[in-house]
């Protein structure tokens, strides 16, 4: 996406569905991360398999943090989210506003349009 976008859901049933779907995705990512961690235990850091698993874990983490499922700042997952095109990530509205005000004061408003 090239523009700032806020996704707000006001209907209570849709909010419940959204939150449930986000929790399913977060839980699936957590399960996969745990599986990777169990495989890493006992491996040497220099082992190519360890590096492969570590990269896979990092990819999962980045995917979750850049998704609309979770705010990378406060880790909230039950809030409406705003997309930041500069950072290519979703933030809850409160964190977005807070960071936007900070960067405006710092003279870098383009980071949080």
pLDDT in tens, 1-55: 788 999 999 999 999 999 999 999 999 999 999 999 999 888 888 889 999 999 9
What pLDDT sits at residue 82? 96
Residue 92: in which H helix or E strand, if any? strand 89-92
90 CB-near residues (< 8 Å, 6+ apart) = 66, 67, 68, 71, 81, 82, 83, 84
In a domain, 112, yes or no: no
Helix axes 12-40, 48-66, angle to 10 degrees: 170
In a domain, 73, yes or no: yes
In a domain, 68, yes or no: yes
What pLDDT sits at residue 89? 93
Q: Cβ distance 68 to 25 under 8 Å? A: no
In a domain, 89, yes or no: yes
- pLDDT digits 0-9 by tens, 67-105: 999 999 999 999 999 999 999 999 999 999 999 999 999
Q: Please list the alpha-helical segments (H only) found in the chain.
A: 12-40, 48-66, 93-105
In a domain, 110, yes or no: no
In a domain, 113, yes or no: no
Specify the pTM.
0.81
Q: Based on the structure, what is the number of domains in the chain?
A: 1
In a domain, 65, yes or no: yes
- What tokens does 61 get? 């983490």
In a domain, 111, yes or no: no
What pLDDT sits at residue 58? 94
Residues of the domain holding 53: 5-105
């Amino acid at each position: 996406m090239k523009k700032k976008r806020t996704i707000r859901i006001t209907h209570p049933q849709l909010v419940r569905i959204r939150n449930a779907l986000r929790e399913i995705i977060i839980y699936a990512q957590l399960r996969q991360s745990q599986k990777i961690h169990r495989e890493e235990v006992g491996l040497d850091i220099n082992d190519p398999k360890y590096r492969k698993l570590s990269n896979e874990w990092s990819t999962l983490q980045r995917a979750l943090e850049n998704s609309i499922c979770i705010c990378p700042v406060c880790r909230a997952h039950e809030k409406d989210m705003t997309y930041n095109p500069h950072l290519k990530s979703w933030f809850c509205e409160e964190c977005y506003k807070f960071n936007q005000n900070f960067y405006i004061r710092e003279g870098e408003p383009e980071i949080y349009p």
